[in-house]
Structure 1
Amino acid sequence: MKQKSDSIRLVVIGAIFLVLILWLVVDLYKIQITGSGQSAGYSDLKSKKDILLESTRGNIYDRNGKILATNRASYRITIEDSGNYDSNKEHQNSLNQISEKLAKVLNENGETIRNALMITLDSRNNYSFTASGTRLSRLKSDVFGRARASDMSQEEASSSAEDIINYLCDRFAVSKSEKEYTKAALLAALTIRYMLWLNSYQKYLPVTVATDVTEQTAAEVLENSDILKGVKVETGSVRVYEGGEAFSHILGYTGAISTEELEAAQKAGKNYSIDTVVGKDGIEKYMDEALQGSNGLKEVAVNQTGRIKNVLSVTDPVPGKDLYLSIDKDLQIAAYQILEQHIAGVLLSNIINAKEFNKSSLKDSSDIRIPVYDVYCALVKNNILNISPAASSKSSDLEKSISQRFQAEKKAVLHTLEEDLTVNARSYNDLPKETREYESYIVNELLQSGKGILSADAPYKEDAEYAQWTAGKISLKEYVMYALEKNWIDMSSISSSRKYVDIQEACTLVAEEILKRLKEDKEFDKLIFTSMIKNDMISGKEICELLYVQGILSQKDSDYQLLKGGQLSPYEFIRKKIRNLEITPAQLALEPCSGSVVLAEASTGKLLACVSYPGYDNNRLANQADGNYYSQLLTDLSLPLYNRATQQLTAPGSTFKPVTIAAGIEESVISPNTSIYCDGVFDKLSPPLRCWKRSGHGEIPNAAAAIQNSCNDYLCDISYRLGSKGNSHYVENQALTLLQKYAKLFHLDQKTGIEITESQPHITDTLAIPSAIGQGTHNYTALQLEAYVNIIANSGTSCSLSLLDKIQDPVSKAAEKVPSSKKGEVNLSDAAWDTIHQGMLLFAQNNNILKDMKVSIAGKTGTAQEAKTRPNHALFIGYTPSENPKYSITVRIANGYYSSNAVSTGKDILNYYLGLEDKKTLLNGKASEASSQRTD
């Protein structure tokens, strides 16, 4: 019975296996012969590919519909890891070969590979980072596969660019042999591999390697498609900006999305990829979501070789919206040019034919002058001239001659420093001037700046011996020896395998390290070079000739031969080039070299112009950024990336005085008709504070006249009365509190609401008497002063400042107007408003620059002192027409000497916009005549 049941069980099992075998045979037939059936469907399901359909970024226009930012069709090179491999080794080798070949093609055609790795080769052919701070920390955490920078080990966090290269070579199995790769070729190949690796979680999505490539490059890539597996030439677009440097800070620029931005976008549910281009600065960043639109998606089925079999579904992209700014394009460009002309005029008026200017005996910072030798040196310090000491066969005879002299001088300087570090004990005060500068550089830049020689936590600033050094009473060697004794110097950072026994030997090793670093230090080279200029070892004429030799100026210029022949002196030559703006204030980065202008509709707060000088070329930062250009901007001493209009904080000077007048009237410590006698000094408190008019104004009959004459004595007396109100004596804190109250009433404690980055303002918190005239610790941007003068123009109505006019759908053309935004009302008595308006009108009517304008204007100047050894900042605020204000304006020229220079700038800009003077005369491309009129 048992045997029978076992037989039946075997038969059933056998039948089941037979059915399964038959089913597999049939299914295999369907897959291989007919390509149908469930298994085939399952195979297709596993071979889907999502293709991103990029949206078109919206255009940006000015208020009149003139284009400011648009898109241009271009070719781009992409790569994707779409192959199938039998082993990881085969996978790595294949991708390495493709990356190497692609990098070679791109480099030979002069294309720029997208630098996602943020590493470059410096002038000494060493790997170095192009990022710093949090961007660099994030790069390292990405490379090492850490979710957060804080998750990295100390070794990973401190890794050098060379360490990153070595790590990625190991990770991607790339040979580090110099026989196979040059450093540049290795970096290029690794950069491509790194981008592929970052995108490995989306294997079938392509990575953009280079954008805006030429047709020749595209053709060569296509010709090599058999060996460049996964590499494609695609059509796309690049961002193009109009308006030049005048618009750089407003528009900003676009660039490839960063890891942090991508993570944030994906968390927000946005369909972004590693290739998504986003706004990086300016209005491009603030309005990125509207401009971006939304990407589409095409889902396709592919076979084993990656070829598309059929389209499964398509979601069309939605183009980004177009923005219309409130800015007037022509006005913005004109204001930028007029501002540059006036800054150049101020600079030119203060250059003298001298080697040096002694500031130690100055009584007034407006007397500061700029020796022409400082101009020669500025061309070197701000990297306008290339002073690379290595002369090549391509160098001119002049460059070779200068290079030989420089090398000899540098050798002598290093020998002197070696002696001072190891043998001599000459105190700092006993050194020649040039040697003092060199040794100060060593201490400040190589010992104490966190560059590795001195421990970061060394308490040297609190030490008595450091005080001896700063007083010049000890030698550099003594200072280094003392630092060694105190264990301040991190000997582990000294790149030497030699051991030391005593302090003297350790000092020798430190000296060797310092000298080694100085040999490679470009800033130290500049120090030597400028010293040679000042000692006439390199002449001013040679510096001027270098401008032609190195292509800064064209040798076709007739002045070149006049300069070489001696008919034009270097001093006259420099002045002529500045006058003609062939050498600009931005290039020299002397004082002054910068400024800002803001012009708005008084009733709405909509900005018509928002200028920061100097600017930059945002076309070179957009799309695939020009790394060399960005590095140049970072080291430019004129700070072109810094938005002076929205970020630079300075004291408002006398432009603040209407606030003090309002406080005086509203707190009943004065009336509009209060008279005060000005004898040139306010001396009710010590130390006394002088009026700008040292002889005094005499009788100031009323508060409006105090604004008209900008009388310090009158305004200081108001502050004194505020502090004495209700008291038997003056209480400074009370005066300060009341000044703060009215400054806040005018919204000077708030940002303006503009759609781009701006700094936080600061109302004074000390020194009530100086604060009444706009000194103390007041700090405001030009933009915030514009919001303030707009309130005055509107008799109390406060508007948020805005760059936006409307947002338009590019398909339907439906437009959404961006309304002006009211922030509130500044409630003052009619008496206070009437006094302020009358005072500002009287100021303009009696000002030599403004009184002949063809339209009524009200205004107030300001002179803000930052340091006694630097020229004062020049400011002007105003509105026009005075009886029914339509426009308000703010001008600030940093280190502009006299406020009248800001007034004349504002006048020219208003005359341009209102059509009151010939535009060609206003925009003549020449330095304007500077003013030295004192009005505050």
Structure 2
Amino acid sequence: MFDSFMNWLKDVKKSRLFPISIIFFLLFSILIHQLFVLQIVNGEQYEKESEYRDEKPRELKSTRGNILDRKGKVLAYDELSYSVTIEDTGELETNEEKNRMIYDLIQLIEEHGDKLDTDFPIKLNENNEFEFTVEGNSLLRFKKDVYSLQASDKLSDEQISISAKEMFHYIRSSTEKSSPKFEIDDSYSEQDALKIMSIRYSLYLNRYHRYDPTTVAVNVSDKTVAAIKENSADLPGVEISQETYRVYKDSKYFAQMLGYTGTINAEELAALDSKERKKYTSTDQIGKKGLEKEYESYLHGEKGKETVVVNESKRVVGVKERVEPTAGNDLYLTIDADLQKQCYDILEKEIAGILLSQINNGMDVGSKGTSGADIKIPIYDVYFSLIDNNSIDISTLNDKDATNLEKKVYKKFQQEQKSVLNKLNTTLAHDYNKSNEASGKNMEEYLNYIYSMLIKKEILISDKIDREDKMYLDYADSKISLSKFLQYALSNNWIDLSKLEIGDEFYSTKELYGKLVDYMKELLLTDIEFSKKLYHTLIYNFELSGTDICLLLYDQGVLKYNEADINKLKSGNISAYNFIRDKIKKLEITPAQLALEPCSGSIVVTDPNTGEVRALVSYPGYDNNKLANSVDAKYYSYLESNSSAPMLNRPLQSASAPGSTFKMLTSVVALEEGVVTPTEKILDKHQFTKIDANNGPKCWSGSSHGKIDISDAIQVSCNYFFYEMGYRLSLDNGEYNSKKGLARIRKYAKMFGLDSKSGIELYEYKPNISTEDSVRSAIGQGNNNYTPAEIARYVTTVANRGTCYDLTIVDKVKDLDGNVLLNNKAKVHNQVNIKDSTWDAVHSGTYKVVNGPRSSISSLFSKLNVKVAGKTGTAQESKSKPNHALFVSFAPYEDPEISVSVVIQNGYTSSNAAEVARNVYKYYFKSDSDEKNEKEKEEGVNTPELGTQTYTD
């Protein structure tokens, strides 16, 4: 065998093919070696290198700084969470593919209880109508972006006037190259199309930052995260990222002060200077309200950056050169969080107690219409308020899962609606001649509402109405019917016919009026406010019982399910009246939910020695967690429609006359200008007749205070005494000159800072020093108008005997390493240099207000372990609303540590505000025995201790 092989080998060597074979073998070996190196040894490297296409910079978001109280308690912070992001990878080419993928993504997010976080300027309102969510320059900027124009002034008249509905359909179907090309077909509902559109539009705005993902949902649940990861193959460009979201502790106590964050919009981005603008993209969070907004530059932090490697398909395949972001700085406040919370709870209980003292089991409205001193609240107003203020949601009464009671109530509503619409057929008939007033009380209200609805919806164009026209004047004077007026309005082109969708056809005025009536009735069928009026009629006609209203609170989850209470209501063992009172007493139904009067108030606590604010309380509050990061649209709508206005920062954004709290200033003016001495006594003649012998203003008291000096005048808050001061200040060579008196008052009001905002680092209304009637202005009436914070600065100046600070709620800003970047102190606004004898007289008067023998409120403060000085005040706004209640104060009297200013809008009488201040001092200066005995907090609400005193000092 071996010999045979050797012979074969010799023959091969002799062959002419042998050299060629060797060459091929060597070449093949080299080829195999190269393939091995390429595929095995360096395969991974070459695979990566083959995908290298481009390197792009990408920003890394930072976390915001914390907000803390003066003791270091955290009030706002960032917490890690999962967000859903999307970027256009180019894998989906057609609009149909993109829309379908985004729709599937939305379903995954919503079916697990999460919601979209997109800032789109069009929405469907509660009546299922399209409307813009922005206005003014923001709306013009949105339209400019949609039409891909360089500037808003390039918009045509037609583009400027396009409606929200028309804009929606334009974006939905547009295939123009110069606009967003979404092509969302009709298989999607309008609501779903709007959601798809909102994401597509966010991607469109972010098209120049292609490698910065667009956030579409924040703080999503683990279930949503898992669902998206499971379906990732069908969701190209969709990722789960770990981000932070803003959290507010004990939110209702601090919401108006802290504000909230949200995704930056185009207007906010444009408002930043060029340097700041570089720090933000369209998906970044920014402070929207409150301190979050005012101290954005400190809180925002510095972004990091990285370079991402993208392949041919535009997918990120690697990261290079990463620089970590730097967290924002921490903001420390002068606020004492515990004091703030205690003050809020005290105020809420007092307001609830006032309501309890005024609610009656009948129709009694007390002094309503004649005086604001003793207005009563019928229980039927309470029942209706639960519907009117949306605590009971009437829009859900006919849902598929509605309870039997909800369906029963809705059936009553339908019957009333049908009845009223039938009556409107008569009163809106072409030949109907009776005025609204002559049509009956209920019908008058309905017809007046229809007129206001037409104005509000700009069907009846207010700017076109000639207010001097005889027909308009006749309608305003209730001489002609609404029917006649609207027909006249049609003939004068005061009606926007485009809303009637009549096209180009010709119609007579009578035919047009018929179409207008049909259109109005269609609107009324879906108008929430008109529906509420029908429920009001049902309640006051006893067709919808108080028991049904109370049970609806359980059916709708407003009250926590309680079988015992429900059975008592159903069996009649407890009346609806007593049930409501019990729930108010326990604060299971709050003044904010009822939005009756009173339902709101303010407390400002300051340190008179530094100008620092220790508490800035606004009642009612709200949950700013539901507005931060992404807006809970339903909750925001509830806040916007809530008549108690919870989003209003009342210490800074509500203003009223100071009432008799102004008498301290008048005392200073009178003493310093020499028109009275500290010891001069003046007889209170009750009615001041020196400027009007017949109709001169009267003192609040029914009888004379007798002969009193200036300190006693402050004590008893004698109007007559201070009318006399206003008169004397106005004498010019023996003649009364109101302007001279007002000028003197203004001079000293400026010294106490009453001509400017309080200094607190948030938006505040400007004050107004009275410019009319020096006599009445001397008692705090006239057109004096100040916020509670401005009044607080004034009393702080009184308390410290002359140093007027610009109040502050900001203490310092620190970076991550504890370095102080901003060390803030209240600035001295002005130094009030007046005689010691003047301060002594004023302080003596304020001491007597609280502690004197003729004090009306001394019993409130008698058991405190600290001496308080203060001044009561009552300000009448309207004869149909309760008076405002004010009390300003400081303690200890000898060496003040704090000043407390309380304003309860429509709080009836100043003693109610004084009771709030007493409870604040009781907490602040609590002794060991007080601390051990905190049963009062658990006792619930009590009516005011001094009852319903009706003096209007």
Q: TM-score, normalised by structure 1?
A: 0.91
Amino acid corresponding to residue 904 of structure 1 in structure 2: E
The 2-side partners of 1:812 and 1:785 are apart by 36
Displacement of 1:438:
0.3
- Is the Cα–Cα contact under 8 Å of residues 344 and 579 in structure 1 kept in the other structure? yes
What residue in structure 2 maps to residue 299 of structure 1?
A: 307
Amino acid corresponding to residue 928 of structure 1 in structure 2: N
Of residues 196, 205, 219 in structure 2, which corresponds to 1:189? Answer: 196
User: Alpha-carbon deviations, 1:631-652, whole Å to 9, x = none?
Assistant: 1111111111111111101000
User: Alpha-carbon deviations, 1:821-865, whole Å to 9, x = none?
Assistant: 222201111121111111111111133322432101110011011
The 2-side partners of 1:804 and 1:780 are apart by 22
Of residues 844, 848, 853 in structure 2, which corresponds to 1:838? Answer: 844
What residue in structure 2 maps to residue 26 of structure 1?
A: none
Instruction: Find out whether 1:286 has 2:294 as its counterpart.
Output: yes
Instruction: Find out whether 1:155 has 2:158 as its counterpart.
Output: yes
The 1-side partners of 2:817 and 2:510 are apart by 78
What residue in structure 2 maps to residue 3 of structure 1?
A: none
Displacement of 1:93:
5.0
The 1-side partners of 2:141 and 2:653 are apart by 26
The 2-side partners of 1:193 and 1:303 are apart by 23
The 1-side partners of 2:581 and 2:321 are apart by 68
User: Alpha-carbon deviations, 1:900-922, whole Å to 9, x = none?
Assistant: 00000011012112224447345
User: Alpha-carbon deviations, 1:468-510, whole Å to 9, x = none?
Assistant: 3233222221222232343322223223459554332232222
Amino acid corresponding to residue 530 of structure 1 in structure 2: H
Cα distance change, pair 729–921 in 1 and its aligned pair in 2 (3 A): farther
Instruction: Find out whether 1:626 has 2:632 as its counterpart.
Output: yes
**Local SS of the residue matching 1:82:** coil
What residue in structure 2 maps to residue 507 of structure 1?
A: 513
**Local SS of the residue matching 1:374:** helix
Amino acid corresponding to residue 452 of structure 1 in structure 2: E
Displacement of 1:122:
3.7
Displacement of 1:164:
2.6
- Is the Cα–Cα contact under 8 Å of residues 264 and 283 in structure 2 kept in the other structure? yes
Instruction: Find out whether 1:387 has 2:394 as its counterpart.
Output: yes
The 2-side partners of 1:344 and 1:811 are apart by 46
- Is the Cα–Cα contact under 8 Å of residues 346 and 896 in structure 1 kept in the other structure? yes
- Is the Cα–Cα contact under 8 Å of residues 605 and 800 in structure 1 kept in the other structure? yes
Instruction: Find out whether 1:896 has 2:896 as its counterpart.
Output: no
The 1-side partners of 2:437 and 2:295 are apart by 57
Instruction: Find out whether 1:168 has 2:174 as its counterpart.
Output: no
Q: How does 1:220-231 map to 2 (within 5 A)?
A: 220-231=227-238
Of residues 254, 257, 260 in structure 1, which corresponds to 2:264? Answer: 257
Of residues 211, 217, 221 in structure 1, which corresponds to 2:224? Answer: 217
What residue in structure 1 maps to residue 778 of structure 2?
A: 772
- Is the Cα–Cα contact under 8 Å of residues 859 and 879 in structure 1 kept in the other structure? yes
What residue in structure 2 maps to residue 864 of structure 1?
A: 875
The 1-side partners of 2:397 and 2:915 are apart by 47
**Local SS of the residue matching 2:601:** strand
**Local SS of the residue matching 1:603:** coil
Amino acid corresponding to residue 417 of structure 1 in structure 2: L
Of residues 678, 683, 687 in structure 1, which corresponds to 2:689? Answer: 683
Instruction: Find out whether 1:562 has 2:568 as its counterpart.
Output: yes
- Is the Cα–Cα contact under 8 Å of residues 199 and 207 in structure 1 kept in the other structure? yes
Amino acid corresponding to residue 254 of structure 2 in structure 1: F
- Is the Cα–Cα contact under 8 Å of residues 424 and 477 in structure 1 kept in the other structure? yes
The 1-side partners of 2:140 and 2:165 are apart by 15
The 2-side partners of 1:839 and 1:132 are apart by 52
Cα distance change, pair 876–151 in 1 and its aligned pair in 2 (3 A): farther
- Is the Cα–Cα contact under 8 Å of residues 369 and 880 in structure 2 kept in the other structure? no
The 2-side partners of 1:246 and 1:532 are apart by 37
Amino acid corresponding to residue 692 of structure 1 in structure 2: W
Cα distance change, pair 667–813 in 1 and its aligned pair in 2 (3 A): closer
- Is the Cα–Cα contact under 8 Å of residues 808 and 825 in structure 2 kept in the other structure? no
**Local SS of the residue matching 2:712:** helix
User: Alpha-carbon deviations, 1:312-340, whole Å to 9, x = none?
Assistant: 53333221111111111111111111100
Cα distance change, pair 656–390 in 1 and its aligned pair in 2 (3 A): closer
Amino acid corresponding to residue 154 of structure 1 in structure 2: D
Cα distance change, pair 399–227 in 1 and its aligned pair in 2 (3 A): closer
Cα distance change, pair 433–358 in 1 and its aligned pair in 2 (3 A): farther
The 2-side partners of 1:899 and 1:589 are apart by 21
Instruction: Find out whether 1:928 has 2:928 as its counterpart.
Output: no
What residue in structure 2 maps to residue 495 of structure 1?
A: 501
Instruction: Find out whether 1:328 has 2:336 as its counterpart.
Output: yes
Q: How does 1:302-317 map to 2 (within 5 A)?
A: 302-306=310-314, 311-317=319-325
Q: State which drifts further: 341-350 or 49-58.
A: 49-58
Instruction: Find out whether 1:910 has 2:917 as its counterpart.
Output: no
Amino acid corresponding to residue 906 of structure 1 in structure 2: A
The 2-side partners of 1:394 and 1:113 are apart by 25
Instruction: Find out whether 1:78 has 2:89 as its counterpart.
Output: no
Amino acid corresponding to residue 123 of structure 2 in structure 1: T
Q: State which drifts further: 767-776 or 107-116.
A: 107-116
- Is the Cα–Cα contact under 8 Å of residues 389 and 406 in structure 1 kept in the other structure? no
What residue in structure 2 maps to residue 11 of structure 1?
A: none
Q: How does 1:638-677 map to 2 (within 5 A)?
A: 638-677=644-683
- Is the Cα–Cα contact under 8 Å of residues 369 and 879 in structure 2 kept in the other structure? no
Q: How does 1:126-145 map to 2 (within 5 A)?
A: 126-145=129-148
**Local SS of the residue matching 1:638:** coil
- Is the Cα–Cα contact under 8 Å of residues 862 and 876 in structure 1 kept in the other structure? yes
What residue in structure 2 maps to residue 787 of structure 1?
A: 793
Of residues 407, 414, 423 in structure 2, which corresponds to 1:416? Answer: 423
* Total equivalences in the alignment: 890
Of residues 349, 357, 360 in structure 2, which corresponds to 1:349? Answer: 357
Instruction: Find out whether 1:99 has 2:87 as its counterpart.
Output: no
Q: Unpaired segments of 5 or more residues in structure 2?
A: 1-37, 853-857
Displacement of 1:935:
7.2
Displacement of 1:185:
2.7
The 1-side partners of 2:588 and 2:219 are apart by 31
What residue in structure 2 maps to residue 615 of structure 1?
A: 621
The 2-side partners of 1:479 and 1:66 are apart by 63
**Local SS of the residue matching 2:144:** helix
What residue in structure 1 maps to residue 213 of structure 2?
A: 206
User: Alpha-carbon deviations, 1:179-211, whole Å to 9, x = none?
Assistant: 3x2333322222111111101111111111111
| Identity score, percent | 39
**Local SS of the residue matching 1:740:** helix
**Local SS of the residue matching 1:255:** strand
The 1-side partners of 2:270 and 2:486 are apart by 48
Q: State which drifts further: 199-208 or 121-130.
A: 121-130
Over the residues paired in the alignment, what is the CA RMSD in angstroms?
A: 2.5
- Is the Cα–Cα contact under 8 Å of residues 389 and 403 in structure 1 kept in the other structure? no
**Local SS of the residue matching 2:71:** coil
Instruction: Find out whether 1:596 has 2:602 as its counterpart.
Output: yes
Q: TM-score, normalised by structure 2?
A: 0.89
Cα distance change, pair 145–913 in 1 and its aligned pair in 2 (3 A): farther
Amino acid corresponding to residue 926 of structure 1 in structure 2: G
Displacement of 1:308:
5.2
Of residues 469, 472, 493 in structure 1, which corresponds to 2:475? Answer: 469
The 1-side partners of 2:379 and 2:281 are apart by 54
User: Alpha-carbon deviations, 1:31-81, whole Å to 9, x = none?
Assistant: xx999xxxx99997x712112111121111111111111111111111112
Structure having the higher Rg: 2
The 2-side partners of 1:406 and 1:91 are apart by 49
Q: State which drifts further: 274-283 or 154-163.
A: 154-163
The 2-side partners of 1:84 and 1:500 are apart by 53
Cα distance change, pair 372–148 in 1 and its aligned pair in 2 (3 A): farther
The 2-side partners of 1:56 and 1:506 are apart by 60
**Local SS of the residue matching 1:208:** strand
- Is the Cα–Cα contact under 8 Å of residues 64 and 300 in structure 2 kept in the other structure? yes
Amino acid corresponding to residue 331 of structure 1 in structure 2: L
Cα distance change, pair 736–173 in 1 and its aligned pair in 2 (3 A): closer
Cα distance change, pair 781–191 in 1 and its aligned pair in 2 (3 A): same
Cα distance change, pair 839–468 in 1 and its aligned pair in 2 (3 A): same
Of residues 699, 704, 719 in structure 2, which corresponds to 1:712? Answer: 719
